[in-house]
């Protein structure tokens, strides 16, 4: 909801599409237009397949990577959530981390055994895995900015290092930009960090808040997807016209001016969080990129899942409950990202700053 709730342009686009119909079981002109906009913003995407969710996008991209390379193993990162496909739920973040749910109940050992888990920002882990399983790793899948262990930024050289090691080993690099795509830059994390993946997974902003997903990448890889190639994937409701219409209206509104605004908004909220915590004497680390951020209740830096888990979840929960009566709803988990939108104007931000000050003052009151 990068434009806020019920932005007029998106509402009008959905309304207009409703008059024309909302499912046809066939490709539509809107899908082609949306794919063209995506490719313009992300030149690494030569061809694109629309699906219904981020889970479908990552699941399909992994299947395609295995088929394209003839290899079985997949490297992912601890705390990285890539949807609820069996092989991707191993050591996942997001709700799995929040609820303390084991990553693999209901998942057979065979489905999990080809998933290798490395530490985020630890390039050496990936290099070691490549050496242990030479010519067996089909792909490395990564959220270029982690959003499901809380917001965790890549360290300098990490993403570029992944690009190098996958290229050298004959593996594919998959960017899961379901969260970061069109959120942190016009061309997503791959534009912001200057690293080109082989395959990209998209969702959320792509549909203006309606259910949608997509995966795309180099033409020689994508042409292996049916009907052009042998890798089967299909969905009757994929590229749903309502989600496509909402996505087109959203992307068309996201120009460079909007991203400058979102950067300023994100910086203002991060500063307000840090100041309120400092005044109250509460250890807090704020990780932010653009309009997505997480306030970790810990004094140490947060660079991976292990350091994220050092945060005080009990204190986070109490802080969350203090904010609710003030009319502020943060994500109800220490391990989720908070997102800001263009609807957060000066009045909304001033309201939020006041609520944050009050919420941390509550910590002082509790101590007394």
- State residue 104's pLDDT score: 60
Residue-wise pLDDT tens digits, 116-159: 999 999 999 999 999 999 999 999 999 999 999 999 999 999 99
Q: How far apart are CA 77 and CA 75, in angstroms?
A: 7
- State residue 98's pLDDT score: 43
- State residue 25's pLDDT score: 87
Within the chain, which residue ranges are assigned CATH 3.40.640.10? 8-253
One of 81, 215, 259, 305 is an active-site residue; which one?
A: 81
The residue among 98, 87, 185 whose CA lies nearest residue 141 is 87
Q: What is the DSSP letter of 94?
A: H
- State residue 367's pLDDT score: 52
One of 204, 304, 305, 309 is an active-site residue; which one?
A: 204
Angle (nearest 5°) at CA 45 between 52 and 184: 75
CB atoms near residue 257 (< 10 Å) = 9
E runs forming strands in the chain:
47-51, 73-77, 115-118, 137-142, 172-176, 199-203, 213-217, 285-289, 292-296, 338-339
Residue-wise pLDDT tens digits, 203-237: 999 999 999 999 999 999 999 999 999 999 999 99
Q: How far apart are CA 104 and CA 111, in angstroms?
A: 9
One of 176, 215, 304, 305 is an active-site residue; which one?
A: 176
Residues near 186 by beta carbon (within 8 Å), at least 6 away in sequence: 41, 254, 255, 256, 259
Q: Flag residues of the chain having pLDDT under 70.
A: 91-104, 362-368
The residue among 117, 24, 48, 123 whose CA lies nearest residue 76 is 117
Q: How far apart are CA 81 and CA 272, in angstroms?
A: 28
Domain 256-367 in CATH 3.40.50.10860? The answer is no
For the chain, give the number of residues: 368
- State residue 97's pLDDT score: 44
Residues near 124 by beta carbon (within 8 Å), at least 6 away in sequence: none
Q: What is the DSSP letter of 231?
A: B
- How does 206-234 read in b/e, with b if 16+ C-beta sit within 10 Å? bbbbbbbbbbbbbeebbeebeeeeebebe
CATH architecture of the domain 8-253 equals 3-Layer(aba) Sandwich (3.40)
- State residue 91's pLDDT score: 65
204 included as an active-site residue: yes
- State residue 136's pLDDT score: 95
Within the chain, which residue ranges are assigned CATH 3.90.1150.10? 256-367
215 included as an active-site residue: no
Residue 13 φ/ψ, nearest 5 degrees: -65, -40
366 class by beta-carbon count within 10 Å (0-12 exposed, 13-18 middle, 19+ buried):
exposed
76 included as an active-site residue: no
- State residue 366's pLDDT score: 54
Sheet holding 285-289, edge to edge: 285-289, 292-296, 338-339
CB atoms near residue 181 (< 10 Å) = 27
Q: How far apart are CA 36 and CA 216, in angstroms?
A: 12
CB atoms near residue 345 (< 10 Å) = 13
Sheet holding 115-118, edge to edge: 47-51, 213-217, 199-203, 172-176, 137-142, 73-77, 115-118
Is the distance from CB of 293 to CB of 150 less than 8 angstroms? no
What is the crossing angle of helices 256-280 and 346-367, to 10°? 20
Alpha carbon 56 to its chain's center? 14
Single pTM value for the model: 0.94
């Amino acid at each position: 909801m990068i434009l806020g709730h019920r932005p007029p342009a998106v509402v009008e686009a959905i309304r207009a599409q409703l008059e024309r119909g909302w499912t046809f079981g066939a490709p539509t002109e809107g899908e082609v237009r949306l794919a063209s906009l995506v490719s313009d913003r992300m030149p690494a995407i030569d061809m694109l397949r629309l699906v219904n969710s981020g889970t479908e996008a990552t699941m399909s991209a992994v299947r395609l990577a295995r088929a394209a390379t003839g290899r079985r193993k997949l490297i992912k990162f601890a705390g990285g959530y890539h949807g609820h496909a069996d092989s991707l739920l191993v050591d996942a973040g997001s709700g799995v981390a929040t609820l303390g749910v084991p990553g693999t109940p209901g998942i057979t050992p065979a489905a999990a055994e080809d998933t290798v888990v490395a530490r985020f920002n630890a390039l050496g882990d990936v290099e070691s895995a490549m050496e242990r399983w030479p010519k067996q790793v089909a792909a490395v899948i990564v959220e270029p900015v982690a959003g499901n262990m809380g917001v965790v930024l890549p360290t300098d050289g990490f993403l570029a290092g992944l690009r190098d090691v996958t290229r050298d080993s004959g593996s594919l690099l998959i960017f899961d930009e379901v969260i970061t795509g069109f959120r942190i830059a016009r061309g997503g994390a791959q534009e912001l960090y200057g690293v080109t993946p082989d395959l990209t997974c998209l969702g959320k902003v792509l549909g203006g808040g309606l259910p949608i997903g997509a995966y795309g990448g180099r033409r020689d890889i994508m042409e292996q997807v049916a009907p052009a190639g042998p890798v089967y994937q299909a969905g009757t409701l994929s590229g749903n016209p309502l989600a496509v219409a909402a996505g087109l209206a959203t992307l068309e509104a996201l120009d460079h001016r909007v991203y400058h605004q979102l950067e300023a908004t994100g910086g203002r909220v991060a500063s307000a969080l840090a100041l309120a915590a400092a005044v109250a004497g509460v250890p807090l680390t704020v990780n932010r990129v653009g309009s997505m951020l997480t306030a970790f209740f810990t004094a140490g830096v947060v660079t991976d899942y292990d350091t994220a888990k050092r945060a005080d979840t009990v204190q986070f929960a109490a802080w969350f409950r203090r904010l609710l009566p003030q009319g502020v709803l943060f994500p109800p988990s220490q391990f989720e990202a908070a997102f800001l939108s263009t609807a957060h104007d000066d009045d909304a931000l001033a309201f939020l700053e006041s609520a944050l000050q009050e919420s941390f003052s509550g910590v002082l009151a509790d101590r007394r």
